[in-house]
């Protein structure tokens, strides 16, 4: 029998995954300094290793590295949580699956072009196509079946990461001008993607819009997060429920 599909799951804060893990079986946890890694399973076909990383690229990269080191069988690393809208058509509850991520605050000029990650010599990182297609289909099927009530129809696009909470329309406009096709901004995704790329593990970044990355962003973000905590798990479930057709097939 094939071993269960093993998901590595990270969010910056408990609210972004849902802090109630009672739906998982065989729960255990291990502490690594101030990081707790929870392990559990869902039915016989899915194993989960998950943690709340804290905010920002360093915390996210550290948590990703620890999580991957905690189990050699992790098949896919997913970072999920909320994001600010950069695409003005996006609203709260819109779901964006990254088809590419980049670090908007990486600038090693003149040695590398602006935004290029020296470690990988590229700026945009793209998830593996088969995992991306699987996740996109899973989300759309869940949405069409009514399993994502309250969320808007999932879409995909470029998500930019940086160590800055964007709450200023002028700053956001500069990012939009620099990064054509930009849909959302956040503070962790591309750091986790870089770690996963360097470790040779498939990754996805899945975000829900909480605010408009403008002057009202901080208030919208805080209000949204309280409501989002009750719903976050449904988005993750939409993926987990379709593990039987995931690229790394389970039993
Ligand atoms: N995460 C959620 N909203 C954000 C914003 N406006 N800027 C950066 N990260 C965010």
Work out which ligand 1 atom sits closest to the CA atom of 186. 9
**57 part of a folded domain:** yes
Helices then strands, counting H and E runs in the chain, come out as: 6, 9
Ligand 1 midpoint to CA 186 (Å): 5
Q: Determine the Cα–Cα distance for residues 214 and 192; give it in Å rounded to an integer.
A: 25
How high is the mean pLDDT in each 10-residue block of the chain (251 residues)?
A: 88 88 92 97 93 98 98 96 98 98 98 98 98 98 96 98 98 98 98 98 98 97 94 94 79 42
**251 part of a folded domain:** no
Helix (H, G, I), strand (E, B) or coil at 188: coil
Torsion, CA 180, CA 141, CA 147, CA 54, rounded to 10 = -40
Instruction: Please report the pLDDT score of residue 105 as a whole number.
Output: 98
**235 part of a folded domain:** yes
Structural domain count of the chain: 1
Pocket, ligand 1, Cβ cutoff 6 A: 82-84, 165-167, 185-187, 210-211, 213, 217, 221
Ligand 1 midpoint to CA 187 (Å): 7
Helix (H) or strand (E) holding 157, with range, is strand 155-161
**154 part of a folded domain:** yes
Paired tokens of 18: 């849902």
User: Among 81, 85, 187, which residue has the most ligand 1 atoms within 8 Å of its CB, making it the best to mutate?
Assistant: 187
Residues labelled as active-site residues: 16, 211
Q: Is 148:95 a contact under the CB 8 Å cutoff?
A: yes
Angle at Cα 56 formed by Cα 204 and Cα 235, nearest 5°? 35
Ligand 1 midpoint to CA 25 (Å): 33
Domain that holds residue 81: 5-243
Paired tokens of 37: 């890694």
Q: Determine the Cα–Cα distance for residues 175 and 182; give it in Å rounded to an integer.
A: 8
Strand pairing report for 155-161 and 95-103: parallel
**170 part of a folded domain:** yes
Instruction: Please report the pLDDT score of residue 3 as a whole number.
Output: 84
Instruction: Please report the pLDDT score of residue 19 as a whole number.
Output: 76
Ligand 1 midpoint to CA 200 (Å): 28
Q: Determine the Cα–Cα distance for residues 26 and 30; give it in Å rounded to an integer.
A: 13
Instruction: Please report the pLDDT score of residue 249 as a whole number.
Output: 44
**248 part of a folded domain:** no
Q: Is 160:240 a contact under the CB 8 Å cutoff?
A: no
**From atom 9 of ligand 1, which residue's Cα is the shortest distance away?**
186
**From atom 1 of ligand 1, which residue's Cα is the shortest distance away?**
83
In 3D, which of 190, 223, 238, 225 has the Cα closest to residue 82? 225
**249 part of a folded domain:** no
User: For position 222, which CATH number holds?
Assistant: 3.40.50.1580
Q: Is 98:203 a contact under the CB 8 Å cutoff?
A: no
């Amino acid at each position: 029998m094939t071993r269960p599909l093993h998901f590595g799951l990270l969010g910056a804060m408990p609210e972004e995954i849902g802090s109630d893990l009672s739906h998982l079986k065989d729960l255990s946890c291990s502490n690594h300094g101030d990081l707790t890694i929870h392990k559990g399973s869902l039915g016989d076909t899915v194993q989960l290793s998950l943690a709340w990383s804290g905010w920002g690229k360093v915390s996210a990269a550290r948590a990703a590295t620890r999580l991957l080191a905690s189990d050699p069988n992790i098949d896919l690393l997913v970072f999920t949580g909320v994001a600010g809208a950069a695409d003005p058509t996006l609203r709260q509850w819109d779901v964006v699956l990254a088809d590419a991520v980049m670090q908007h605050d990486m600038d090693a000029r003149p040695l590398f072009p602006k935004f290029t990650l020296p470690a990988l010599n590229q700026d945009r990182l793209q998830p593996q196509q088969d995992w991306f297609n699987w996740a996109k289909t899973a989300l759309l099927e869940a949405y069409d079946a009514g399993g994502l009530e309250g969320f808007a129809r999932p879409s995909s696009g470029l998500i930019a990461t940086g160590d800055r909470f964007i709450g200023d329309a002028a700053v956001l406009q500069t990012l939009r001008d620099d990064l054509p096709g930009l849909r959302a901004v956040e503070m962790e995704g591309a750091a986790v993607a870089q770690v996963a790329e360097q470790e040779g593990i498939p990754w996805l970044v899945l975000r829900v819009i909480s605010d408009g990355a403008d002057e009202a962003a901080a208030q919208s973000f805080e209000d949204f997060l309280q409501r989002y905590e009750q719903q976050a798990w449904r988005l993750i479930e939409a993926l987990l429920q379709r593990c039987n057709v995931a690229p790394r097939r389970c039993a």
